[in-house]
Amino acid sequence: MSDRITEQTTLCVYCPKMCRVACPIAEASGREEVTPWSLMTLLAHVRDGRLALDAEIATLFHQCTGCGRCKTFCAHENDVPTALHAGRQLAAHAGLVPRAALAAVDRVRHTGNVKGENLAARQRELLGDRVGADAKTLFFAGDDALSSGAQGLVDAVKVLEHLGYGPIALLEDAPSDGSPFYDAGLDAEFRDYAKGLAEKLSRYSLVVSSDAGAVFTFRERFPTVGAVVRARVAHFSELALERMPKGAPLELRAVYHDPDALGRALGVYDAPRELLRRAGVEVLEFFDRKESSRSAGTGFGFERFDPAIARSIAERRVEDVPARADVIATSDPASEAALRAVSSKPVVDVATLLARSLGLSQPA
């Protein structure tokens, strides 16, 4: 365990639990043992040999969405998800990976994606056959977008081509970004998978995705295991902002949800909002926004680990939707799907609103 994680866990042990109100899992479950303070204290006891690592403790290390909201509320800016990943590594080395995390890994091993579906066929159905050697831009679709966020995926590609980023290529096998291996603490498998995928991505000069988690994985996690993507990696909103003109006003009011992986992880807050304004959308805000934004319950594998609590987290997110809002807009397919499942108002991807403004698609 690194010196920095040792320092952070020590600080947490003696902290008055100021981050308790920040954790979406602790709030939704009402359980003291899953607060960031409790989990970091537990990790410190395991590290120092005061507690023996067992299946129950290993399971607690998976009680985190990786949202990073606790870091925003922490006076020391402690990185709890990174520390808990070290705990998951210890559990993996001891053969104590929880069943849900292992099941996700097995689906990637056997089908190439975490959904366990034929996503390559789904990709061809939505976006056609775009496997070509002449394209310089690769669009990485991602598991969540292909499985549940079809419209946003199609509209993102339409907008990118309209803005001159085409021709767009796709990876024929529609693979996972490899995050299930990381989430499970199986770092050797994550390293091997990341290096293979990085080589495929590096055949292009530009890699773009609307999946914020995939962009974060490629830019931040791959290099930690020696898997370097030799291409510019950008989120759809970052790239679209560079060329997006003012479109036909949509005359909609949209409240914008900051996805954890795009906002706190990558620091991209303003680009999606500005894109909405260029589409003639009035941007409204949640009470908790930007660095303080509440999670939608996805990330770090938690939505597979405890779907009921993940849904409860999403429900809490939509509780304070402004009454004036016509739609909830977001910039990540996993967040879109989670919020759509619990919201009484439509939830749409920013790419879909841009496509409508540019005359590339029509409301369903």
Q: pLDDT tens across 165-197, in order?
A: 989 999 999 999 999 999 999 999 999 999 999
Helix axes 350-357, 236-243, angle to 10 degrees: 20
Tokens at 158, concatenated = 């339409």
Per-residue confidence (pLDDT) for residue 361, from 0 to 100: 86
Q: How far is Cα 8 from Cα 205, in angstroms, rounded to an integer? A: 38
Per-residue confidence (pLDDT) for residue 144, from 0 to 100: 86
Contact 182, 213 (CB under 8 A): no
Of 16-25, 79-88, 202-211, which gets the smallest average pLDDT?
16-25
Per-residue confidence (pLDDT) for residue 133, from 0 to 100: 60
Band of pLDDT at residue 5, cut at 50, 70 and 90: low
Q: pLDDT tens across 257-301, in order?
A: 999 999 999 999 999 999 999 999 999 999 999 999 999 999 999
Between 207 and 18, residue with greater pLDDT: 207
Contact 138, 201 (CB under 8 A): yes
The domain defined by 244-357 folds into Rossmann fold (3.40.50)
Of 9-13, 58-62, 200-204, which gets the smallest average pLDDT?
9-13
Q: How far is Cα 158 from Cα 317, in angstroms, rounded to an integer? A: 30
Within 8 A by CB and 6+ apart from 32, the residues are 26, 38
Per-residue confidence (pLDDT) for residue 364, from 0 to 100: 67
Band of pLDDT at residue 132, cut at 50, 70 and 90: low
Per-residue confidence (pLDDT) for residue 312, from 0 to 100: 98
Per-residue confidence (pLDDT) for residue 156, from 0 to 100: 97
Q: Answer yes or no: is pLDDT of 335 > 60.
A: yes
Query: Phi and psi at residue 276, in whole multiples of 5°?
Result: -60, -40
- Residue 223 carries which DSSP code? G
Helix axes 270-278, 236-243, angle to 10 degrees: 50
Contact 43, 13 (CB under 8 A): no
Q: pLDDT tens across 29-59, in order?
A: 999 899 998 998 999 999 989 999 999 999 9
Band of pLDDT at residue 119, cut at 50, 70 and 90: very high
Q: Could you list the beta-strand ranges (E) of 262-355.
A: 281-285, 327-330, 347-349
Q: Answer yes or no: is pLDDT of 6 > 90.
A: no
Task: State the chain's mean pLDDT as an integer.
Answer: 93
Q: How far is Cα 343 from Cα 110, in angstroms, rounded to an integer? A: 34
Band of pLDDT at residue 149, cut at 50, 70 and 90: low
Per-residue confidence (pLDDT) for residue 349, from 0 to 100: 97
- Residue 274 carries which DSSP code? H
Q: Answer yes or no: is pLDDT of 95 > 70.
A: yes
CA atoms within 13 A on the CB side of 94: 17
- All CATH 3.40.50 domain ranges of the chain, comma separated, are 244-357
> Which strand (E) or helix (H) includes residue 273?
helix 270-278
Contact 246, 280 (CB under 8 A): yes
Per-residue confidence (pLDDT) for residue 362, from 0 to 100: 81
Q: How far is Cα 329 from Cα 364, in angstroms, rounded to an integer? A: 16
Q: How far is Cα 58 from Cα 88, in angstroms, rounded to an integer? A: 7
Q: Answer yes or no: is pLDDT of 20 > 80.
A: no
The share of the chain scoring above pLDDT 70, in percent, equals 94
Per-residue confidence (pLDDT) for residue 336, from 0 to 100: 96
Place of tokens 């938690």: 302
